[in-house]
Amino acid sequence: MAALERRRDGRRGRWIEHWDPDDEQFWATTGRKVARRNLVWSIVTEHLGFCVWLLWSIAVINLDTVGVALSVNEKLWLTTLPNLVGAALRIPYTFGPARFGGRNFTIISAGLLFIPCGLFVYAIENPSIPFWALLLIAATTGLGGGNFASSMSNITHFYPTARQGLPLGLNAAGGNVGVSVTQVTMPPLIVAFGLVAVGWVWMPLILVAAAGTYLFMNNLMHATSAYTVREMAGISRKPHTIVMSVLYVGTFGSFIGYSFSFGILIKNQFPDIKAVDFIWLGALVGSAARPVGGWLADRLGGARVTFWTFLAMGSGIIAVWSAVEARRWPYFLAAFLWVFATTGIGNGSAYKMIPAVFRTKALDGVDGDDPAAVAAALAAARRKAAAAIGITSAIGAFGGVLIQQTFRISLEQTASISAALIVLAVFYGLCTALTWVVYLRRRPSPRVGEPLRSLADAGV
């Protein structure tokens, strides 16, 4: 280990010069242990990022306790703006590990979480501040949403391409479950110490995460030259980056959009139900399902799992619509939890697809008997996949904003969410068709004599 970690000239920190997880011997003797250690602290930091990102999803339900009276539309904006800012920050955050090193940028991103926590405390202790100031303070929680992109792009470099489904699923789920943790732990704290506790409670935990990252994570030297802004712009225009971004809007966009909106939807559609008792269930189910999606994708193929997941999401959202029309609360809750579970599975399988797509395309036409050519192709694929993951995660989070706005418009125009649910069901149908056409439909091979094949047959 001592030989593995060296300081790069002119830089401080624990830098690893040689890293080749696709080499089975290296992975078995050294890589697995180091990767797992980095994964653990990546999960911890990303988890806290999501906890902070979702502060206002629970705060808006309790603002009346501190004398802040807002309309449903204003409350939706207080939960939409953090989502919007978090989505936008995922693009620059993707460059963070490449520019500063994965360990170094994780420390930075953890430290930045003190800003929204401190401002939240200020806002609650000064309830007379104008609504525009509340919006700006809520926007800073988007710093927690940006953590996802830097964390995922960094962890991608640590694991073999063929085994990334489960670790990426665990990394993402560790963050996603922060949504549920915020929503389930905050109500008792609010009762005991007041709404201001929602801001104070995370500060010592952020300090622990930053210290653990400093002591136990690593920077990968080869990852610091992963891609430039120009290269990332080029990757963003690749057809598969565009397709995967649309699919990730359907999976993660749905997860985060529903997570931000679930409490408000319950309170609006079923006013006799105490929303805080149930708001956390959706995010917990969706988060727990995410590594399952990655695990299934490692074994069955990401495209196949994603295809069937979109079918399940569509059927689930139709069930939610039926429950809304019938005003049946138990049916509504069960159907929405089904939808949350399918978003989690889809998140895991879709993220498995991204490195698999770039690996498959990079190896197409490469002489398999030339180790140097294969190694170069895999290295290029890993760089492109890390950039594509950042782009896709950002667009997926923007999808959450679209879902929140779909609900807002539906409520404003019809006083119901039924119209929004119908739109979402149609969208999931389109995602199902897109997955089949691009990744599952078999086409003739460019090589004479080879049978019809799909990208799923090639490992996507």
Q: What is the DSSP secondary-structure string of 363-432?
A: HTT--TT-HHHHHHHHHHHHHHHHHHHHHHHHHHHHHHHHHHHHHHHHHHHHSSSHHHHHHHHHHHHHHH
Measured distance CA(266)–CA(277) in Å, rounded: 11
Q: Which domain holds residue 267?
A: 13-440
- Tell whether 190 is covered by a domain: yes
Arithmetic mean of pLDDT over the chain: 86
Banded model confidence at residue 454, pLDDT cuts 50, 70, 90: confident
Q: What is the pLDDT of residue 232?
A: 74
pTM, 2 dp = 0.78
- Tell whether 370 is covered by a domain: yes
Looking at residue 253, the DSSP 8-state letter turns out to be I
Q: What is the pLDDT of residue 224?
A: 64
- Tell whether 7 is covered by a domain: no
Q: Which of 80-84, 130-134, 183-187, 384-388 has the lowest mean pLDDT?
A: 384-388
Q: Which tens digit of pLDDT belongs to each residue from 305-317? A: 999 999 999 999 9
Q: Which tens digit of pLDDT belongs to each residue from 161-189? A: 777 778 887 888 888 788 888 888 888 88
- The SS3 of residue 11 is coil
In the chain, the number of structural domains is: 1
Can you name the residues that pair with 15 across neighbouring β-strands? 6, 219
Can you name the residues that pair with 139 across neighbouring β-strands? none
Q: Which residues contact 64 (CB under 8 A, 6 or more apart)?
A: none
Structure-model confidence comparison of residues 273 and 375, the more confident one: 273
- Tell whether 454 is covered by a domain: no
Q: Which residues contact 329 (CB under 8 A, 6 or more apart)?
A: 270, 273, 323
Measured distance CA(188)–CA(123) in Å, rounded: 20
- Tell whether 8 is covered by a domain: no
Measured distance CA(417)–CA(258) in Å, rounded: 12
Element (H, E) at 333: helix 329-363
- Tell whether 349 is covered by a domain: yes
- Tell whether 451 is covered by a domain: no
Answer yes or no: is pLDDT of 148 > 70: yes
- Tell whether 154 is covered by a domain: yes
- The SS3 of residue 219 is strand
316: CATH: 1.20.1250.20
Tell me what percent of the residues of the chain surpass a pLDDT of 90.
41
Q: Which tens digit of pLDDT belongs to each residue from 67-125? A: 888 887 888 888 888 988 988 898 888 888 888 899 999 999 999 999 999 999 999 99
